[in-house]
């Protein structure tokens, strides 16, 4: 059987949104999916450290072959074949349609904190326009006041050997510890009263708002709203994303070249690409970051973006191009982080020969906070700070806009009645998310957002697992290969399908276990607001899955076994374009179809 008709089950049929449009150019799908690699929430976590790209590269390439590229192919297939977003696409097996609402919840959850990754660069960007950078050694004199009983050391106050030796001689301790703070991190702490945000990682720490960060957050959402107001249809949004993504990639390449010209030992920079046997094990956490980031924040963006493809778009070759492009972005992030960490290592190297001395630098969020002090050492520091933080803000905005674009289209694909009120729904959701995201303008929101990020990692991995179940087991390997061959005129090899059916679930289960441990650790210190938000937007949507299953079974006639079987069959699953729909009917054979693919307006049970 090809599909079950909505008319046969007594439910209202799916009516596709015929005004949704297509990409202005076929390559725009590639650009937008590559931009999912701009994701920064997981990469910015402290327990993911860049050490050697060479160690992570091997693990990542293996994962590409095992399941990353095939899962992207599957997500692209269901979106492109049905021309639907991540909710309506589950009519491939209606009993699992609750997964679409779970993905809607996780997407909205990520967007509640993601504006922070644009607001923080905006904060540094505006301060970069001062005549003297506030986090430079000269600029610190205007605002830095030591508020603690113990003198705070920072890289602008490096002590000479005579003072160090005298301090050790006068100390009763066996070892002397000196921790240097990074001026650009101290500057960020100063907007919250000067407390060390990363050191005071406790849920009961005093709650403080930063009005500067709050204004930057409002500016971020104002820009997002302006983009959706100006680029209101698919073709306009397609062109906007194309040019902004290209601009971001050019700025990223420019920054990488400039950072590589810092006065570091070239061997240190080159070592980033060299993998020793021990480095391969250390590179596994990096590979996990890459794997998670390949699908973007939330879940279902690739499904929704693929739904704007023409029916014959070659998603197989596109998936490899997307992954290679994302890998280049990860390498650029890694080079920048490696050089920033190397810079702070180089300024304390002259202490290595001093006995009984341990010196370290407290650098946090290398790309966002610590990078400012490195930029301050360059010639034309204001210019390079403006370029660098403009790049980070633009990348975050692109990620937010792409995610919202997929969310809105998925909602309008599923709910026909909302299509006539597209503007009200769009700006209403943006307004609600903007209000909720103001929490990230506080010290708790800035520090504890990582708990929500690990929750989304768990949900994203779970949804990928269930997608494999729905497409390759419930819908079936044979029908999946048949549809791929019909759409692309090329076969999806059986060994690839078996890899996805048996090997990929094992890999995803391992990633799922890691995400559970990480989420438990992050929530153990998070604030009550983060706990409540996670329950509302990540945990509660999972209750919708069994609830919707029961609803579908009740709407279907027959015995329980018959109800279950009919609810698992694809419903209204066919190409939206009339010409392709007719070809699909002819290719599958009328004898296998339970209902002709013709438009009907009969009254049905709602």
Domains and CATH numbers, the chain: 6-130+206-592 (1.10.4160)
Residue where the block lists tokens 């009254």: 603
User: For the whole model, what pTM was predicted?
Assistant: 0.89
The confidence band for 127, taking pLDDT boundaries of 50, 70 and 90, is very high
DSSP H helical ranges for 283-421: 284-293, 301-306, 315-346, 371-375, 381-414
Average pLDDT of span 289-293: 77
Q: Which of 303, 241, 307, 227 is nearest to 20 (CA)?
A: 307
* Chain segment 449-498, per-residue pLDDT in tens: 777 788 888 888 899 999 999 999 999 899 999 999 999 888 888 888 88
Label residue 6 by pLDDT band (50, 70, 90): low
Q: What pLDDT score does 352 carry?
A: 59
Q: What is the pLDDT of residues 427-445, one digit of tens each?
A: 999 999 999 999 888 887 7
Contact 424, 196 (CB under 8 A): no
> DSSP states of 549-592 as a string?
HHHHHHHS-S-HHHHHHHHHS-BS-S-SSHHHHHHHHHHH-GGG
Q: What is the pLDDT of residue 592?
A: 46
pLDDT (tens digit per residue) in 523-533: 777 778 777 87
Residues in the chain: 606
Q: Is the dihedral of CA 443, 444, 448, 453 positive or negative?
A: negative
Tokens of 410: 């998925």
Rounded distance, CA 444 to CA 228, Å? Answer: 30
Residue that wins the pLDDT comparison between 195 and 235: 235
Residue 193 or residue 3, greater confidence: 193
Measured CA to CA, the distance from residue 287 to residue 519 in angstroms comes to: 18
Render pLDDT for 104-119 as a digit per residue (tens, 0 to 9): 988 998 899 899 999 9
List the single range of 201-210, 380-389, 460-469 with lowest mean pLDDT: 201-210
The CA distance from 20 to 472, in Å, is 28
Task: Give phi and psi for 263, each to the nearest 5.
Answer: -80, 60
Give whole-number Cα distances, 9 to 93, 216, 503, in Å.
Answer: 13, 51, 36
pLDDT at 598: 40
The pLDDT value given to residue 499? 87
Distance CA 597, CA 2 (A): 11
pLDDT digits (tens, 9 = 90+) for 315-374: 999 999 999 999 889 888 888 888 888 888 777 766 655 556 666 677 677 788 888 888
Q: Residue 313 has which token pair?
A: 């778009």
Closest by Cα among 433, 115, 463, 48 to 295:
463
Inform me whether the pLDDT recorded for 191 exceeds 60.
yes
């Amino acid at each position: 059987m090809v599909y079950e008709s909505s008319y046969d089950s007594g439910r209202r049929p799916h009516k596709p949104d015929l005004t949704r449009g297509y990409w202005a150019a076929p390559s725009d799908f590639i650009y937008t999916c590559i931009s999912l690699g701009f994701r920064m929430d997981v990469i910015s976590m402290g327990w993911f450290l860049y050490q050697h790209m060479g160690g992570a590269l091997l693990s990542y390439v293996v994962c590409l072959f095992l399941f990353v590229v095939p899962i992207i192919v599957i997500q692209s297939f269901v979106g492109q074949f049905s021309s639907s977003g991540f909710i309506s696409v589950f009519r491939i097996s209606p009993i699992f349609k609750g997964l679409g609402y779970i993905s809607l919840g996780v997407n909205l959850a990520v967007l509640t904190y993601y504006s922070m990754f644009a607001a923080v660069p905006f904060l540094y960007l505006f301060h970069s326009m001062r005549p003297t950078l506030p986090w430079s050694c000269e600029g610190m004199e205007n605002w830095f006041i030591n508020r603690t009983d113990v003198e705070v050391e920072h890289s602008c106050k490096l002590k000479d050997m005579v003072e160090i030796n005298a301090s050790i001689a006068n100390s009763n301790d066996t070892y002397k510890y000196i921790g240097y703070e990074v001026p650009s991190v101290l500057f960020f702490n100063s907007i919250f009263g000067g407390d060390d945000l990363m050191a005071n990682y406790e849920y009961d720490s005093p709650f403080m708002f930063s009005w500067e960060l709050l204004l930057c957050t409002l500016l971020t959402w104002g820009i997002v709203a302006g983009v959706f107001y100006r680029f209101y249809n698919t073709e306009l949004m397609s062109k906007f994303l194309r040019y902004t993504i290209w601009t971001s990639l050019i700025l990223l390449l420019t920054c990488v070249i400039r950072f590589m010209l810092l006065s570091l030992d070239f061997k240190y920079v080159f070592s980033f690409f060299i993998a020793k046997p021990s480095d391969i094990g250390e590179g596994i956490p990096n590979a996990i970051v890459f794997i998670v980031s390949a699908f973007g924040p939330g879940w279902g963006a690739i499904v929704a973006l693929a739904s704007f493809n023409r029916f014959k778009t070659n998603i197989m070759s596109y998936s490899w191009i997307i992954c290679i492009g994302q890998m280049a972005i990860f390498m650029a992030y890694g080079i920048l982080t490696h050089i920033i960490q190397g810079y702070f290592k180089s300024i304390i190297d002259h202490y290595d020969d001093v006995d009984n001395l341990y010196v370290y630098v407290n650098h946090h969020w290398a790309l966002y906070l610590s990078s400012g002090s490195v930029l301050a050492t360059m010639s034309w520091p204001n210019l390079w700070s403006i370029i660098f933080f403009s790049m980070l803000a633009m990348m975050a905005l692109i990620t937010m806009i792409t995610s919202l674009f997929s969310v809105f289209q998925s909602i309008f694909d599923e709910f026909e009645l909302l299509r006539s009120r597209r503007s009200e729904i769009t700006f209403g959701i943006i307004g609600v998310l903007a209000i909720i995201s103001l929490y990230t303008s506080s010290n708790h929101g800035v520090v504890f957002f990582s708990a929500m990020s690990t929750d989304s990692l768990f949900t994203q991995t779970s949804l990928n697992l269930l997608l494999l179940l729905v497409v390759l087991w419930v819908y079936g390997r044979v029908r999946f290969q048949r549809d791929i061959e019909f759409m692309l005129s090329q076969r999806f090899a059986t060994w690839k399908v078996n890899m996805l059916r048996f090997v990929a679930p094992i890999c995803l289960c391992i990633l799922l276990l890691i995400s559970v441990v990480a989420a438990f650790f992050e929530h153990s210190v998070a604030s009550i607001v983060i706990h409540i938000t996670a329950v509302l937007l990540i945990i509660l949507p999972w209750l919708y899955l069994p609830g919707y299953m029961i609803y579908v079974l009740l709407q279907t006639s027959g015995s329980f076994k018959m109800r279950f079987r009919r609810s698992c069959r694809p419903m209204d699953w066919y190409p939206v374009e009339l010409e392709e729909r007719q070809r699909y009917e002819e290719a599958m054979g009328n004898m296998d179809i339970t209902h002709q693919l013709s438009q009907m307006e009969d009254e049905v049970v709602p």
